[in-house]
Structure 1
């Protein structure tokens, strides 16, 4: 089994009780099953809601607070039950906590030594397609472990060796992308899938260039070198690989390629919480996660 999958010993499934959270949890269970990882289910009782209830209702709000706590228990129990039905061999731990949801998730990741998170890209807030939802977005920006982000439009097919055939691996040849390459090739190996390595020569850089054709050729050369690096690693690991250099805005190129090539899973690097860029996941990754119709594994630069 791939080294990166061997490194996944625990998967966290945050839930707010919504159908979208449950959809994200199902794909997380799929990955936990192939890794043989423990599953942790967490529901966070938002203290801002509790404070609002107290300020408005005072002591009369005790019943409302109790209802929020009961909802959290119901949410974690539903995901735990689903996990045991789909993968009865996995150990399941359920927890409810109070706090700001994304901060509580980050604390839990550190305290429980979580290796991966799986969650829906939209919670129960009814945000439009262009928004991730504040909890998922902030988790992506703060945690130092890979996050499997599952959009509501994603297929209900499981992430399994018999259903996952094509893994898209965008790369720009950077160190951050290199960590994602390890994960992408590792996951493709587990699923016996084809890696589609993709480099986008960002033509936006050419608008102010004095010699745009020369710059484009240089960008394409960089892309070929990046793809060759992915190809060599994939061949060493016994994974089938194909590579493409395209031109255009990277996020648009990635999303179009995914739609045109029946991609089942995208694996892409993020800035994670490296140094001063902790609050950024990168505009390309963010746009891909916001608009993809398939699950996206976001791998921070610091991920082992």
Structure 2
């Protein structure tokens, strides 16, 4: 598997890249090639006083490259200019990445409403599965909240086509997964022609065959709120969820469940987008 590892070379990014447990989890699920990527903002120019960012980032990437190569990964580095989420998606398409990884500090409720962060923008537009590594927020030497990335999974489903696509990720995640909680949230407007408990039990049987200890949960109410409440209760290392679409209109619609989970989850989030569309224009 080929992964994009997007970094701003901050202490938070260093916490994820230098975490041996995190790297071991990636190796277990089949990641063997990593593209380290950092984006220089387009409004920063080399001639600006004290703004030798590209040289500093090149040195930083070389340090990270050494760490990851020592861990056994094949590594390439990329320094690009532009809008972070667009350039990250662009490189992911160019190298045909299987996943994108980005670190994100925990945020306050107020900050969670600001839809300007790279993680939130990637949650809307990512072209490949997106792993958001949650990092401590108020620490000089931050660490990951839950470093065993895929050990305890929370999978949220509405039984849609893309929720099924997200569940398919267990085909490789299972090599690092020991426990899983499967949750479905029923809303008053929902009209399903299937029995949620039977559907969850069928999914649970699949995971049990892979020796993953699995439980199921059905809730009523607002999907985002209920999923986050279950996450707070079971404390998974990562929440797995599918996103809806990537249309221009969809990007402007705030408050989608996937974006809410990326913003509000205490632990890591693994977001699976719809299948790639041939000829899709990222810009």
In 2, distance between residues paired with 1:81 and 1:280? 41
Q: Which residue of 1 aligns with 2:157?
A: 171
Q: CA deviation at 1:259?
A: 1.6
Q: CA deviation at 1:237?
A: 4.2
Which protein has the larger Cα radius of gyration, Structure 1 or Structure 2? 1
Aligned pairs for 1:191-270 within 5 A: 191-203=176-188, 205=189, 222-270=195-243
In 2, distance between residues paired with 1:279 and 1:78? 38
Bigger share in helix = 1
3-state SS of the aligned residue for 1:145?
coil
In 2, distance between residues paired with 1:84 and 1:132? 35
3-state SS of the aligned residue for 1:109?
helix
Whether 2:9 is the aligned partner of 1:17: answer: yes
Q: CA deviation at 1:281?
A: 8.6
Distance 1:148 1:178, change over 3 A: same
Q: CA deviation at 1:133?
A: 4.7
Whether 2:86 is the aligned partner of 1:103: answer: yes
Q: Is the contact made by 2:130 and 2:272 (CA closer than 8 Å) also made in structure 1? A: yes
Residue deviations 1:240-272 (CA, integer Å, cap 9, x gap):
321111112111111111121131111110125
TM-score (norm 2): 0.80
Q: CA deviation at 1:303?
A: 6.2
Task: Give the aligned CA root-mean-square deviation in angstroms.
Answer: 3.1
Q: Among residues 46, 50, 72, which one is paired with 2:57 in the alignment?
A: 72
Q: CA deviation at 1:292?
A: 1.0
Q: Which residue of 1 aligns with 2:169?
A: 183
Unaligned runs of 5+ in 2: 137-142, 278-283
Residue deviations 1:9-40 (CA, integer Å, cap 9, x gap):
11111111112223344486344322142111
In 2, distance between residues paired with 1:272 and 1:19? 33
Q: Which residue of 2 aligns with 1:134?
A: 117
3-state SS of the aligned residue for 2:267?
coil
Whether 2:260 is the aligned partner of 1:287: answer: yes
In 2, distance between residues paired with 1:113 and 1:12? 10
Residue deviations 1:116-142 (CA, integer Å, cap 9, x gap):
11102359xxx9344465222222222
Distance 1:219 1:175, change over 3 A: closer
Q: Is the contact made by 1:270 and 1:281 (CA closer than 8 Å) also made in structure 2? A: no
Distance 1:230 1:82, change over 3 A: same
Residue deviations 1:62-109 (CA, integer Å, cap 9, x gap):
5544x1112321332243233245x1x111111212222222111111
Number of matched pairs: 265
3-state SS of the aligned residue for 1:151?
strand
Q: Which residue of 1 aligns with 2:23?
A: 29
Q: Which residue of 1 aligns with 2:40?
A: 45
Unaligned runs of 5+ in 1: 1-8, 54-60, 206-214
TM-score (norm 1): 0.75
Q: Which residue of 2 aligns with 1:159?
A: 148
